[in-house]
């Protein structure tokens, strides 16, 4: 897949991405256009700097965590191809019962959200990791003492096995009454 806008995705690539992500061919083609406009290196890959040029991510306090999640999800440290890009975006596709796939399922969405907090990628959220993300989210609007209290209370409420960490299963249990499918959905171009 070249990056030049004159090059279009091949039909078999569109079909593969559609099967993997649940996006429609029209959505895939439109998102490919967005992908190529972000690819300043003109090489068919996005790097972290390409994401940081997206204004919404640049001003988002969790922008770095979101960008990091794209690369963690893809298994690549420094480059992301279009197919990998689409697999990450699929987590945010609204759930339609007849078209749900594992990426935009409740578990897929929760796994992606969990990665926002698991900054060292050890499959556990520590108080320090939780505190770090909370600090990114609220900045100086809440005192350090209040943030520590929130982080400690969250760990106490979510930690069922007493190890002072939140596992993915404990994270899922803590959010079982939250409408994750709705909250982690973006309406994509139709």
* pLDDT average, residue stretch 30-59: 88
Stronger pLDDT, 129 or 2, i.e. the higher one: 129
Q: Which tokens hold the place of 69?
A: 């999640």
pLDDT band per the 50, 70, 90 thresholds, residue 26 = very high
pLDDT band per the 50, 70, 90 thresholds, residue 155 = very high
Query: What number of other Cβ atoms are within 10 A of residue 8's Cβ?
Result: 14
Structure pTM? 0.76
- Structural domain boundaries in the chain: 11-97, 106-181
* pLDDT average, residue stretch 130-152: 91
Stronger pLDDT, 1 or 155, i.e. the higher one: 155
| CA-based radius of gyration for the chain | 18
Q: Is the pLDDT of residue 170 over 60?
A: yes
Q: Is the pLDDT of residue 32 over 90?
A: yes
For domain 106-181, the question of CATH label 1.20.140.10 is answered with: no
For helices 127-138 and 144-158, what crossing angle results, to 10°?
130
Topology (CATH) of 11-97: Recoverin; domain 1 (1.10.238)
For the chain, give the percent of residues with pLDDT over 70: 89
- 11-97 and 106-181 share one fold: yes
């Amino acid at each position: 897949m070249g990056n030049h806008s004159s090059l279009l995705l091949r039909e078999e690539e569109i079909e593969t991405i559609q099967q993997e992500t649940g996006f429609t061919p029209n959505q895939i083609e439109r998102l490919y256009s967005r992908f190529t406009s972000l690819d300043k290196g003109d090489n068919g890959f996005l790097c972290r700097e390409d994401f940081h040029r997206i204004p919404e991510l640049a001003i988002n306090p969790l922008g770095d965590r979101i960008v990091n999640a794209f690369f963690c999800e893809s298994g690549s440290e420094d480059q992301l191809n279009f197919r990998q890009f689409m697999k990450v975006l699929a987590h945010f596709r609204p759930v339609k019962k007849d078209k749900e796939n594992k990426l935009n399922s409740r578990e897929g969405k929760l796994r992606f959200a969990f990665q926002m907090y698991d900054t060292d990628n050890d499959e556990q959220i520590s108080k320090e990791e939780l505190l770090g993300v909370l600090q990114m989210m609220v900045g100086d609007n809440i005192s350090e003492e209040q943030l520590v209290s929130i982080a400690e209370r969250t760990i106490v409420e979510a930690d069922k096995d007493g190890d002072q960490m939140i596992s993915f299963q404990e994270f899922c249990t803590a959010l079982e009454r939250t409408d994750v499918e709705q909250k982690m959905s973006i309406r994509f171009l139709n």
